[in-house]
Amino acid sequence: MNKIIQWGCNCLISLGYTLKNNIPGNVKNTPWSYVIRFETSQGYIYLKHTPEQLALEAAIIHILQDQFQARVPTLIAHNPELNCFLMKDAGRSLREMLKKNFNEALFFKAIDQFTSVQLATADHIEVFLNIGVPDWRLDKLPGLYWELLSQKELIADGLSEMELNKLHALFPEVLNVCQKLSDYSIRSSIVQPDFNDNNTLIDEISQTITMIDLGEIVISHPFFSLLNCLEQIKKHHGFTEDEKKYSRIKDACLRNHIKMYSKEYLLDAFIIAEKIWPIYKALSHYRLMLACGKEKMISFQPGRLSHFLKEFMEIFVNPAQIMR
């Protein structure tokens, strides 16, 4: 990583920044994302590095900013050879703020901003496909699922032969659910696999909200991002599905779609999307395994891939697990 840090230092100096400290601070260090922070004369500047197979983020940010006026990080330099880029500070995690005081209006603003971008990109998905963003539209998911089941890493990650056979037997259900969801004609768009309040930054002075962590975007069903948002709210804020707060957040996730469909129609589609969502999560994790190294990911997050597939099996064993 020394070469990447040196590039960041040299780049900032050449752009007129004065470094207040030659040693950057560590922000994040996972197999799929290495982020450090430089303290400069013009505020904090962040450097992000990813494995080569995930190095689409800078290109995605440029498209979202230039063609869709989305509030995404401001890039100041990009090094495609080192798979890294520099970006300006955009504030602190919205989750930090919501942990202290859950401001519903602020969170609804973040959801509205994200879903508005999803809807805006739905008519232009070829722009993303052309730069290599994966195509995981509903007609592609069954084939991707079948291909995933052939991987020996499933056994290494804690899936038994019997469970693998059950997953093969569920292939007709995958086809059926994907077709049912397709029948609702909700357009495919960009899907951020980990859209949540922690991957949303807020400038405390301007209250500007910025979407981050965009390198793993795919083209698929927009509800997959929203399902993740709701899951993270339950996990990190302790909300339960029978709470009014939770229901209002779920309504906020669907609000921009209600301009085109009835709420009842969307809620029905949402339930169907949840049935296939574990497959999407499994594919997202397997994508990380391919990019970062299968053994490294199994060591870093053991059992995660098999967990998502077991979650999928559980849905058909116990349909009551689906949110209502």
The chain-wide mean pLDDT, for the chain, equals: 95
Report H helices in the chain: 2-14, 57-68, 94-100, 104-121, 125-129, 141-148, 153-156, 161-169, 171-182, 223-237, 244-254, 263-292, 294-300, 304-317
Say if CB 279 and CB 242 are below 8 A apart: no
Predicted confidence at residue 320, as pLDDT, reads: 52
Say whether pLDDT at 274 is over 80: yes
Query: What gap in Å lies between CA 244 and CA 246, rounded to an integer?
Result: 5
Predicted confidence at residue 324, as pLDDT, reads: 39
Q: Which helix (H) or strand (E) holds 48?
A: strand 43-49
For the chain, percent of residues with pLDDT exceeding 90? 94
Digit-coded pLDDT (tens) for 252-265:
999 999 989 999 99
Digit-coded pLDDT (tens) for 98-133:
999 999 999 999 999 999 999 999 999 999 999 999
Predicted confidence at residue 316, as pLDDT, reads: 85
Fold adopted by 2-88: Phosphorylase Kinase; domain 1 (3.30.200)
Residues contacting residue 268 through CB under 8 Å, at least 6 positions apart: 184
Give the domain ranges of the chain: 2-88, 92-321
Say whether pLDDT at 218 is over 70: yes
Residues contacting residue 25 through CB under 8 Å, at least 6 positions apart: 36, 37, 39
Query: What gap in Å lies between CA 293 and CA 289, rounded to an integer?
Result: 5
Predicted confidence at residue 323, as pLDDT, reads: 44
Say whether pLDDT at 1 is over 90: no
Say whether pLDDT at 319 is over 80: no
Say whether pLDDT at 14 is over 60: yes
Residues contacting residue 306 through CB under 8 Å, at least 6 positions apart: 154, 157, 158, 159, 163
For the chain, percent of residues with pLDDT exceeding 70? 98
- Report CA-CA distances (Å) from 166 to 10, 94, 271: 54, 40, 22
DSSP state of 261: S
Query: What gap in Å lies between CA 173 and CA 158, rounded to an integer?
Result: 23
Our CA dihedral for 129, 131, 136, 142, rounded to 10 degrees, sits at 90
CATH code assigned to 92-321: 3.90.1200.10
Residues contacting residue 277 through CB under 8 Å, at least 6 positions apart: 223, 224, 227
Say whether pLDDT at 189 is over 80: yes
What would the mean pLDDT of 201-217 be, rounded to a whole number? 95
| Residue 247 pLDDT class (50, 70, 90 cuts) | very high
Measured from the Cβ of residue 143, the count of other Cβ atoms closer than 10 Å reads 11
What would the two tokens of residue 309 be? 């597939």
- Report CA-CA distances (Å) from 57 to 30, 133, 136, 193: 16, 10, 18, 13
Q: What is the pTM of this model?
A: 0.95
Say whether pLDDT at 283 is over 70: yes
Say if CB 64 and CB 72 are below 8 A apart: yes
What would the two tokens of residue 154 be? 């499933």
Predicted confidence at residue 294, as pLDDT, reads: 95
What would the mean pLDDT of 73-82 be, rounded to a whole number? 98
Residue 269 phi, psi dihedral angles, 5° rounding: -65, -35
Predicted confidence at residue 22, as pLDDT, reads: 79
Got the DSSP string for 80-99? TTTTEEEEE---EEHHHHHH
Query: What gap in Å lies between CA 19 and CA 130, rounded to an integer?
Result: 37
Digit-coded pLDDT (tens) for 150-159:
998 999 999 9
What would the mean pLDDT of 303-312 be, rounded to a whole number? 97
Q: Which residue has the tokens 């995933």?
A: 148
What would the two tokens of residue 241 be? 């599905």
